[in-house]
Amino acid sequence: MKRRDPARISWTDHVRGSPLAAVTLIGYGDFACPACAENYLTVKKIQKRMGSRVRYVFRSFPQPGYEPSEDAAEAAECASSQGKFWEMHDRIFENKGASDELHLSRYATDLGLNVLQFRREMREHAHREKIRAGRRAAVRSGVVLAPTFFINSERHDSSFGQATLLPAVQAAAGEGSNRREKSEIED
């Protein structure tokens, strides 16, 4: 099986930040995964700290056969079809992955989505193949579980918490880090 370059960004990716950023941080995540929810907060703090120097790409990596995981990934894609992927992404993670039909419909309403379209796309699994294709591509990139991060094209194999991810992103941006900067992100 040919390995996929995880740093290659495609039009189907969900991207926050400038293509001119010094660092591209790619996160493979599962909306129903507690560790991914924790890392969502870490990534938000890194984005705030580093600003335009980091571009973040989120790729869904739902646990196959686990309905809440797959439904949440589909809900995010349904929201994306209405231009609100990141709003749904944030809402699901901020609610600890609550992704039953009632919660997802409430999020859609709260975000101002066309709820009829949202429910139809969910019922018809309109984005299921895109999600599955993304998962297959992730596996070809060497991803086996969520969360998994790549900094530029290098896999970040250290622990995923705040204490290791920020210094690794800073190093990729050519910045030094010190103990004060590390502790700032933990606030």
Model pLDDT for residues 117-158, shown as the tens digit of each residue: 999 999 999 999 999 999 999 999 899 999 999 999 899 976
Question: Residue 183: is its pLDDT beyond 50?
Answer: no
Position 3 in a domain: no
Position 8 in a domain: no
Question: Residue 103: is its pLDDT beyond 80?
Answer: yes
Put residue 74 in one of left, alpha, beta given phi > 0 → left and psi -120 to 50 → alpha: alpha
Q: Which amino acid is at 175?
A: E
User: Region 172-177: what's the mean pLDDT?
Assistant: 79
Write out the two tokens for 98. Answer: 């609550």
Position 80 in a domain: yes
Question: Residue 92: is its pLDDT beyond 60?
Answer: yes
- Identify the pLDDT of residue 96: 85
144 CB contacts (<8 Å, ≥6 apart)? none
Say how far apart CA 140 and CA 33 lie, in whole Å: 21
Say how far apart CA 185 and CA 18 lie, in whole Å: 22
Position 6 in a domain: no
- CATH code, domain carrying 158: 3.40.30.10
Position 135 in a domain: yes
More confident residue, 98 or 19: 19
Question: Residue 180: is its pLDDT beyond 80?
Answer: no
- Give per-residue pLDDT as tens, 41-50: 999 999 999 9
Position 137 in a domain: yes
Position 149 in a domain: yes
- Identify the pLDDT of residue 162: 65
Predicted structure pTM score: 0.88
Nearest to 99 by CA among 135, 133, 60, 130: 60
More confident residue, 96 or 23: 23
| 3-state SS, one letter per residue, for the chain | CCCCCCCCCCCCCEEECCCCCCEEEEEEECCCCHHHHHHHHHHHHHHHHHHHHEEEEEEECCCCCCHHHHHHHHHHHHHHCCCCHHHHHHHHHHCCCCCCHHHHHHHHHHCCCCHHHHHHHHHHCCCHHHHHHHHHHHHHCCCCCCCEEEECCEEECCCCCHHHHHHHHHHHCCCCCCHHHHHHHHC
Domain range enclosing 163: 14-186
Position 5 in a domain: no
Number of structural domains, the chain?
1
